[in-house]
Structure 1
Amino acid sequence: MPTTSVHTDPEELTMTLVAEFPVPVERLWGAFADPRQLERFWGPPGFPATFTSFDLRPGGRAHYRMTSPQGELFRSLWQVSEVDEPNRIVFRDLFATEDGEVDGSMPGSETVLTFEPVGARSRVTVLTSFTSSADLDQMLAMGMLEGYTQAFGQLDRVLADLREYALGKGTVTDLVDDTHVRITRAFEAPRHLLWRAHTDPELMRRWLLGPDGWEMTVCENDLVVGGTYRNAWAPTGDTAGEPFGFDGENLVIEPERRIVTTERMTGAPFPANVNDLQFDEVDGVTLMTLLITYPDQAQRDMVLATGMTDGMEASYQRLEGEVLTAAA
């Protein structure tokens, strides 16, 4: 965990986060100065940021939105007052209205980002100041402290070379907490091909099969927010097993970047989980991240016990060998 400390000071009306990373300070600065890198971590898991404008200079503005797994939009903007590369960035971080102006009904804050070398490593200190205790209390109640910690917990993946960090390591499964599982898989392919492979029924039927001996019998998707989908599989030949399927609703669709859906086994008496699938590309390598939210720990453990991730890796190997290679 890169965060070394995080605390609030009710008397000074501040919140401070300190994090260290094994990269030069110029590389750390670059992650904050490039909106495409910044939006990979400026938002906790499940609430990724999308920067629609980015003018990092004194007097400039940066507009962004965070989108929840349910499709809710939380709009904000930076009003930049100071930029000293690669040492310091100062900005007002404010909620925004739909037309991009400051939302005066919500609390605002000033953030100072300070970057400094620490031996062969580098450190970023995030000092956020509020104008009143009411504003500080409201932001803490909204989960700002936890959100910052979770967001910066993603920064090490942004700073790492994806080829060294993830390529060739197969499907990696992390238990985030009792109800969340994060699955990552890297591909040496542009994300537009990964997006197409996950949304084109013809291509999906070629690779989304799990272990050998199964075929995809149904692949239907009304690929719009609020649209529904249904996928089904059946064994072939002498393969043991019973046909099964999944269905759900599309909650968020951001082409070539993110799909959020509900998912439940067709006909099963279990509540649906939520799948948040995201694609991030760097220098021709795409990292696919699937964050699954289960209703409870029991359902999480039941699903993982089926060997789900082994089946996913078999599918991804087929995707690489039969779809992505042919499209390259």
Structure 2
Amino acid sequence: MNNDLLFDFTVDKAAKTIFITREFNARQSLVWDAFTKKEILDKWAAPAPMRCETKYLDFKVGGRRFYAMINPDGQERWILQEYTSITPKTNFKLYNSFADKDENPELPGSKWDHSFSEQNGITKVDISIYNESLERMQNLSDGFRIGYTAMLKNLDDLFASLLQK
């Protein structure tokens, strides 16, 4: 892993928003695919020892992704996402909420905005996560920081393994 790659995680309580900026040593098209394709997402989008399992992903405006983070003991935490805007290869937005196994959302949720850019083979991903409730954001922020950091490390490792092939 290139330790010179940018990683910033900022919580703005007043704005009820989390800002994440992360660089990857990978081409923009590959990073985009890693965030938008089920078969790649399931390889990195859960902090160990959990695993990610996507029940379905329909990547289009109005489409949804329904997936679970699964503990080693089999306990599932379901998440429902609805894509609200897509500009291919550069930006997508979604509405995110926890849900039960029957796809009933637990509100309030959060609005995610992902932007992708590349310079000299390094891809930068800027993510803003607006939480509809300050309480929800405060309940998530510490554990979320640890878990999301671990997930991004999983993605780094995945890119490194692909470069070795």
User: TM over 0.5, yes or no?
Assistant: yes
**Distance in 1 of aligned mates of 2:131 and 2:53:** 24
**Distance in 1 of aligned mates of 2:162 and 2:84:** 33
Map of 2:139 onto structure 1: 138
Are 1:81 and 2:96 matched, yes or no? no
The AA in structure 1 aligned to 2:46 is G
**Distance in 1 of aligned mates of 2:129 and 2:88:** 19
Shift of 1:138: 1.4
2:104 match: secondary structure: coil
Unaligned 5+ runs, structure 2: none
The alignment's TM-score, normalised by the length of structure 1, stands at: 0.47
Paired residues for 1:1-328 under 5 Å: 4-104=7-107, 107-140=108-141, 143-162=143-162, 164=164
Unaligned 5+ runs, structure 1: 166-328
1:44 match: secondary structure: coil
Shift of 1:38: 0.7
Q: Percent identity?
A: 22
Q: How far does the alpha carbon of each residue in 1:57-79 deviate from its partner, in whole angstroms, 9 at most, with x for none?
A: 10001100001122211001111
**Distance in 1 of aligned mates of 2:55 and 2:133:** 30
Contact 1:5 1:19 in 2 (8 A): yes
Q: How far does the alpha carbon of each residue in 1:44-64 deviate from its partner, in whole angstroms, 9 at most, with x for none?
A: 111221101000110001100
Q: How many matched pairs?
A: 162
The alignment's TM-score, normalised by the length of structure 2, stands at: 0.90
2:69 match: secondary structure: strand
2:106 match: secondary structure: coil
**Distance in 2 of aligned mates of 1:10 and 1:66:** 26
Contact 1:37 1:158 in 2 (8 A): no
**Distance in 1 of aligned mates of 2:27 and 2:162:** 17
**Distance in 1 of aligned mates of 2:118 and 2:6:** 16
Higher strand share: 2
Q: How far does the alpha carbon of each residue in 1:191-214 deviate from its partner, in whole angstroms, 9 at most, with x for none?
A: xxxxxxxxxxxxxxxxxxxxxxxx
Shift of 1:161: 4.6
**Distance in 2 of aligned mates of 1:92 and 1:4:** 23
Q: How far does the alpha carbon of each residue in 1:225-266 deviate from its partner, in whole angstroms, 9 at most, with x for none?
A: xxxxxxxxxxxxxxxxxxxxxxxxxxxxxxxxxxxxxxxxxx
1:81 match: secondary structure: strand
Higher relative contact order at CA 8 Å, sep ≥6: structure 1 or structure 2?
A: 2
The AA in structure 2 aligned to 1:84 is T
- Rate the CA distance shift 1:80–1:6 in 2: closer, same or farther, 3 A: same
Contact 1:42 1:49 in 2 (8 A): yes
2:44 match: secondary structure: coil
Shift of 1:3: 5.5
After TM superposition, what 4+ stretches of structure 1 lie above 6 angstroms from structure 2?
none
